[in-house]
Amino acid sequence: MQVLLLGAGTVTSRLNMQLAEQGHSVIAQIAAFTPQHIDLFDFRALVVVSPESSVSPESLVKAAERGKLIFVIAGVGDGMASWANGVGVPSIAYPPSDVDINKLYEEMRRADAGNLAADDQYRRAVLGSDMSARIQSGMAVRKIAITSPKGGTGKTTVAVNLAVALALSGITTYLVDADGNAGALQYHMRMERVNTTMIGLLRREIAKANKGVMGDVASGAAYLNAFTPLENLPTLRVLPGLITDDLGDEVLQQEARVAEVIQGLYEAGVAAGGVVIMDVGINPAHVVHRAALKAAEGIAIVIKPEIPDLAETRRWIARMINSLASVVGKGSAHEFVGSRVKLCYNQVVGDGFKAAHKMLQQALSEDKIELALIPNGIIPIVDPRLAAQAVNSDRREDILIWRYKKEKLEELGPFADSLLGFASHFVPAVREGASRIGLLPSPTKKRGWFGKG
DSSP secondary structure letters along 49-92: EGGGSB--HHHHHHHHHTT-EEEEEE-TT-HHHHHHHHHT--EE
The more confidently predicted of residues 212 and 205 is 205
| Contact (Cβ atoms closer than 8 angstroms) between residue 272 and residue 223 | no
Predicted local distance difference test score (pLDDT) of residue 150: 92
What are the pLDDT digits (tens) for 321-331?
888 888 788 88
Residue 421 to residue 426: CA distance in whole angstroms: 10
pLDDT band at 218 (very low <50, low <70, confident <90, very high): very low
Average pLDDT of the chain? Answer: 88
pLDDT digits (tens, 9 = 90+) for 64-88: 888 899 999 999 889 999 999 888 8
Q: CA quadruple 28, 30, 34, 36: dihedral positive or negative?
A: negative
For residue 87, how many C-alpha atoms fall within 13 Å in the half-sphere facing its CB?
24
Tell me: pLDDT of 450 over 60: no
Average pLDDT over residues 216-223: 65
Which pLDDT belongs to residue 137? 64
pLDDT digits (tens, 9 = 90+) for 393-415: 988 999 999 999 999 999 999 99
Q: Is the pLDDT score of 303 beyond 80?
A: yes
Question: What percentage of the chain carries pLDDT values higher than 90?
Answer: 57
The pLDDT of 190-216, averaged and rounded, is 82
d(C-alpha 160, C-alpha 148), whole Å: 14
Cα–Cα dist 250/263, whole Å: 20
pLDDT at 215 over 70: no
The pLDDT of residue 129 is 66
- pLDDT value of position 11: 95
Question: What's residue 446's pLDDT?
Answer: 43
pLDDT tens digit sequence for 354-406 = 999 999 999 999 998 888 788 999 999 999 999 999 989 988 999 999 999 99
Average pLDDT rounded to a whole number, residues 76-101: 91
Question: Given a cut of 80, is residue 127 above it in pLDDT?
Answer: no
pLDDT for res 442 = 66
176 vs 185: CA distance, rounded Å: 8
pLDDT, position 115:
64
pTM, entire model: 0.85
- Residue 240 pLDDT greater than 90, yes or no: yes
CA dist., res. 222 & res. 416, Å (int): 34
Q: Is the pLDDT of residue 138 over 70?
A: no
Domains detected in the chain: 2-116 (3.40.50.720), 134-436 (3.40.50.300)
Residue 264 scores a pLDDT above 50: yes
- Write down the pLDDT at residue 285: 82
Residue of 349 and 222 predicted with greater confidence: 349
Q: Is the pLDDT of residue 271 over 60?
A: yes
| pLDDT: which is higher, 448 or 425 | 425
For residue 217, what pLDDT band results from cuts at 50, 70 and 90? very low
Please tell me the predicted confidence (pLDDT) of residue 448: 41
Q: Mind listing the pLDDT tens digit for each residue in 436-446?
A: 888 887 664 44
Calpha distance 320→292 (Å, rounded): 13
Q: What's the pLDDT score for residue 453? A: 40
Q: What is the mean pLDDT of residues 15-35?
A: 94
What is the separation of C-alpha 172 from the centre of its chain, rounded to a whole number of angstroms? 6
What pLDDT does 132 receive? Answer: 64
The pLDDT value given to residue 116: 61
430 has a pLDDT exceeding 50: yes
121 vs 6, higher pLDDT: 6
Residue 273: predicted pLDDT: 86
156: pLDDT strictly greater than 90: yes
How far apart, in whole angstroms, are the C-alpha atoms of residue 145 and residue 301? 9
